[in-house]
Structure 1
Amino acid sequence: MSNTTDIVAKLWSLCHILRDDGITYNEYVTELTYLLFLKMLEETKKEERLPKAYRWRELAKRDGLDQLDYYKRLLLDLGKAEVKDGLVRAIFVDAQTRLRKPTNLKALTSSIDQLDWFSAREEGLGNLYEGLLQKNAEDKKSGAGQYFTPRPLIDCVVRLLRPQVGEVVQDPAAGTAGFLVAADRYIKDKTDDLYKLTEQQGHFQRHSAFIGAELVPDTHRLCLMNLLLHGIEGGVDLADTLSPDGERLPKADLVLTNPPFGTKKGGGRPTRSDFSITADTSNKQLAFVEHVVRALKPGGRVGMVVPDNVLFEDNTGRRMRTWLMELCNLHTILRLPTGIFYAQGVKTNVLFFQRGKTDKANTKSTWVYDMRANMPAFGKTRPLTVDDFAAFEKVYGRDANGRAARKDEGEGGRWRCFTREAIGARNDSLDISWLRDTEAEAEEKLTDAEDIAAAIIGHLKAALEDIETVSEELEINEAEGAAGLSEAAE
């Protein structure tokens, strides 16, 4: 076991203390983040970012009710406008602790102090924090996996799309910043941790290269903390991408994202003035596709996780796909196996496309890799690994925009090419499969109780979303029919 893994396990064990104080699973990491932020600033000698009155030693040396009262005051004051450091202010805005027992706070501060911080610094505090986020996501009771993209998938997409120095990388649904951190790591590995860059280039990478938005306040805190520990200063706003906030995000050279599944909360529509395709739908995935296309610079590229309904939904969905293939070269689709996200029954894909220099006929053909049929039952007992993507990465090729030499493997293989004309004959449906789908058989092999429960929940959620989509399409059809009758009467 590596030192980082060992420390993550010890940090996760502190959740027993939090649970003893009535703190729920989905609040664990947020509560630990406040304390870890203070401690990690001490360990990295960056405490000048904090007011002198609110530093780790001041908290750790106290006891009893005095410590708990001090901690509550610290959380309140660090989120106020008077705090000069914007990142500190953003992490602590509206922060509050659920801790009620002074003995539990003392147990937490003492346990954190006793961790092997020398080893943690050697292996990277960012890696330590990412390990904690991953541990939280793997625990299905926390529900965190709903916004946590598996690291092997993130790393695969980043390797294929090859982020470059000087590029603006955007994630409009940043979650805990997994995609942005992986893109940053990829660039640092190619530039000796940025030391090969000029001072100006290095400043751009730390302060301007990575941008995005996250809607959920507690997730946004985790995101900012993760970015900070990887040497990235901010860049992700607490914002709703499907509102006018999304219009203000800078144009990107590269978009890496896994937007949330389901309909927009409360059935609301996007409120973007620049949306023309999805203005009348509450389907968040379709709206995010429109955002991503509009966010790209000419020649910009994308790796985007979407559920199956984006590939086959009629009406707005079909218009979206037609529009996408006109403006962009949709060169590759990866059909992902089920069971790799928290919601087991959700079927997902990765779309790889590039914005054209013009707005016409950019997609000539689309390659599809089926990683879903005849695959193992992924879950707790069989987690997704980097090796699972090796065959796909090999056929994808070394060109980020899908221009490497490729060979169709025929009906017996996983890798096929479909012309734009063939897709048009399918009414622009991209839900293309040719291998016998053994998904049901794979789920029957699940043995872990949490995996089985997650599969059932996933199927129920997917069914509910399908019903909502059908209901919405009926409403749209009725409205269009009424409009048509009105025009005829006139």
Structure 2
Amino acid sequence: MTIQNMIKRIQNIMRQDAGVDGDAQRIAQLVWMLFLKVYDSKEEFWEFAEDDYESIIPEECRWRNWAIDHKDGEALTGDDLSDFVDTVLFPTLKELEIDELTEKRKAIVKYVFEDANNYMKSGTLLRQVINVLNEVDFTENDERHAFNDIYEKILKDLQSAGSAGEFYTPRPLTEFIVEMVDPQVGETIADYASGTGGFLTSALEHMEDQIKTPEDQDTVQRNLIGVEKKPLPYLLAITNMILHDIDEPNILHDNSLTKNVRDFNDDEKADVIIMNPPYGGTEEKSIQINFPTALQSSETADLFMAMILYRLKKDGRVGIVLPNSFLFGDDRAKLAIKEKLLEEFNLHTIVRMPEGVFSPYTSIETNLLFFDKTGPTKEVWYFEHPLPEGYARYSKTRPLKKQEFDIAKQWWHDREENEHAWKVSIEEIKKRNYNLNIKNPNAEDGEVNQKSALEIIKELQTSQEEVFGIMEALEDELK
């Protein structure tokens, strides 16, 4: 059974339930069940490895004791299953007793259920969903790593970025940023808007060959840090980290912007910061006052950018995704943030991404900024990511692929100007009043500002494909 088929089967079952309203609730419903199943699989391993292991979950609430259908006619279903989930399972897990001595791997059960809900009204349909989930064995290594495909699939099914601009970051993009920043075992690696943990799991996979001993594994587990404000992606991130053998994930359910940036000590700073902060969101005055007056902004992405300037260690490295508006923005806060960035950090590379990378969530054009804390910027290298031949833009049906970064990787360590790459001195940037939105001077005439008739036709075809895709999704929803 493929992951796509599994998710489609589950979604089709949930669509029949009167209590589940829309994609967001379907995903939230699926995620708490996935967490309990995954956690039960990890507990099987902990029980095998540790003679004295005791679960924090009461026996009747462990997945193995209520969710497995042994085909003997005794499995909970119908009203009995609904009553158990609503009156026993959820109240028990929400009210688990923990304190400062509780192991983190146990305490996370309470954390992830604090904001979880059971939306399904039909116990019969709920049993059907559980039975489909039980077809996946997360104790098997291949199945565990297939969880990446599960959460990517269900997140892609969310057609809207939401009011605060959160959206799924394509895995090829997270892998490219991580490879270029090159995190090492022993370094503190952080994502302060970690979402479902995509950057952190990419960092884990990047360091896989570096991890030689149990001590290395412990070091990585201790030094991998995430912070996520929203409950659903937080739950997904916790589940994802557990499946990557991070038994005690350092993922905080919090807002990274709530602490005064002047108060960060060395222990709260990171060697490597990799992230894609939300765009378009607005922050209240109570958040803005955590920043120096010149850097105060209502724009969420600006504040995240300012915050990481205070949380990067000496010689530390950053790879971050930002919208075009940060590059050309000339309001007071953006100018102050860019001035601080260029005077105190080395902004060595900006990779300019084409339109559609984050389709279908947003058409905003984005950039990958790479900088380190090794001294002021002297020059900025730009690299314009080329679209594959025949593409007018990326889209839902024509997404970004990993191999399309090969040309940038080949250029990265032996930099020369070419049709994709150019450099700009800090003096030129200052003359432009810190406007970093600099077009490719090496592009063929007209390539930047003009489009051929063929390109326009291809764009129209792509838009038509997206419209058809949306119509099909609506048709499935109505069915």
1:332 aligns with: 349
Aligned equivalents of 1:30 and 1:264: distance in 2? 25
Q: Indicate how the Cα distance of structure 1 residues 250 and 42 shifts in structure 2: closer, same or farther if over 3 A, else same.
A: same
Q: Normalised by the size of structure 1, how large is the TM-score?
A: 0.80
Q: Secondary structure in 2 aligned to 1:117?
A: coil
Q: 1:34 aligns with which of 24, 32, 35?
A: 32
The one-character-per-residue Cα deviations of 1:51-87 (angstroms, maximum 9, x if unpaired) are 2221113222312212111112212321224155211
Mapping of 1:49-198 within 5 angstroms?
49-60=56-67, 61-72=75-86, 73-82=88-97, 84=102, 85-113=106-134, 115-117=135-137, 121-125=140-144, 127-141=145-159, 143=161, 146-188=166-208, 190-191=209-210, 194=211, 196-197=212-213
1:464 aligns with: none
2:384 aligns with: 370
Answering whether residue 226 of structure 2 is matched by residue 212 of structure 1, we say: yes
1:18 aligns with: 14
Q: Which amino acid aligns with 1:334?
A: V
Q: Indicate how the Cα distance of structure 1 residues 432 and 30 shifts in structure 2: closer, same or farther if over 3 A, else same.
A: same
Answering whether residue 259 of structure 2 is matched by residue 244 of structure 1, we say: yes
Q: CA deviation at 1:270?
A: 2.7
Mapping of 1:252-267 within 5 angstroms?
252-265=270-283
1:391 aligns with: 407
Aligned equivalents of 2:193 and 2:398: distance in 1? 27
The one-character-per-residue Cα deviations of 1:335-368 (angstroms, maximum 9, x if unpaired) are 1111111334201101000013x6xxx1000000
Q: 2:244 aligns with which of 230, 233, 243?
A: 230
The one-character-per-residue Cα deviations of 1:410-465 (angstroms, maximum 9, x if unpaired) are xxx110011111111211110011332368846434145536899xxxxxxxxxxx
The one-character-per-residue Cα deviations of 1:379-428 (angstroms, maximum 9, x if unpaired) are 1221110111111111112xxxxxxx41112xxx1100111111112111
Which has the higher mean CA deviation after the structures are superposed, 337-346 or 434-443?
434-443
2:473 aligns with: none
Q: Indicate how the Cα distance of structure 1 residues 17 and 27 shifts in structure 2: closer, same or farther if over 3 A, else same.
A: same
CA contact (8 A) 1:259 1:306 kept: yes
The one-character-per-residue Cα deviations of 1:270-300 (angstroms, maximum 9, x if unpaired) are 3453544422x10111111111111100010
Q: 2:290 aligns with which of 270, 273, 280?
A: 273
Q: Which amino acid aligns with 2:275?
A: T
Aligned equivalents of 2:181 and 2:204: distance in 1? 13
Q: Which amino acid aligns with 2:6?
A: K
Q: Normalised by the size of structure 2, how large is the TM-score?
A: 0.82
**Number of equivalenced pairs:** 425
Q: 1:355 aligns with which of 343, 352, 373?
A: 373
Aligned equivalents of 2:236 and 2:260: distance in 1? 20
Aligned equivalents of 1:245 and 1:77: distance in 2? 36
Alignment root-mean-square deviation, CA: 2.5
1:308 aligns with: 324
Aligned equivalents of 1:322 and 1:90: distance in 2? 40
Aligned equivalents of 2:245 and 2:160: distance in 1? 28
Q: Secondary structure in 1 aligned to 2:252?
A: strand
CA contact (8 A) 1:340 1:379 kept: yes
Q: CA deviation at 1:269?
A: 6.0
Answering whether residue 238 of structure 2 is matched by residue 203 of structure 1, we say: no
Q: 1:428 aligns with which of 431, 434, 443?
A: 434
Answering whether residue 291 of structure 2 is matched by residue 295 of structure 1, we say: no
Q: 2:420 aligns with which of 414, 423, 439?
A: 414
The one-character-per-residue Cα deviations of 1:23-60 (angstroms, maximum 9, x if unpaired) are 22012232112222222233341573532221113222
Q: Which runs of 4+ in 1 moved over 4 A?
A: 142-145, 245-249, 372-375, 451-454
Answering whether residue 343 of structure 2 is matched by residue 323 of structure 1, we say: no
CA contact (8 A) 1:177 1:223 kept: yes
CA contact (8 A) 2:7 2:154 kept: no
Aligned equivalents of 1:451 and 1:394: distance in 2? 36
Q: CA deviation at 1:220?
A: 1.1
Q: Indicate how the Cα distance of structure 1 residues 29 and 140 shifts in structure 2: closer, same or farther if over 3 A, else same.
A: closer
Q: Indicate how the Cα distance of structure 1 residues 296 and 110 shifts in structure 2: closer, same or farther if over 3 A, else same.
A: same
Question: Which structure 1 segments of 5+ residues have no match?
Answer: 398-404, 455-490
CA contact (8 A) 1:15 1:28 kept: yes
Which has the higher mean CA deviation after the structures are superposed, 134-143 or 386-395?
134-143
Q: CA deviation at 1:240?
A: 1.2
CA contact (8 A) 2:317 2:372 kept: yes
Which has the higher mean CA deviation after the structures are superposed, 321-330 or 427-436?
427-436
Percent identity between matched residues is: 28
Aligned equivalents of 2:115 and 2:157: distance in 1? 26
Q: Secondary structure in 2 aligned to 1:175?
A: coil
Q: Which amino acid aligns with 1:378?
A: Y
Q: Indicate how the Cα distance of structure 1 residues 395 and 10 shifts in structure 2: closer, same or farther if over 3 A, else same.
A: same
Q: Which amino acid aligns with 1:13?
A: R
CA contact (8 A) 2:23 2:158 kept: no
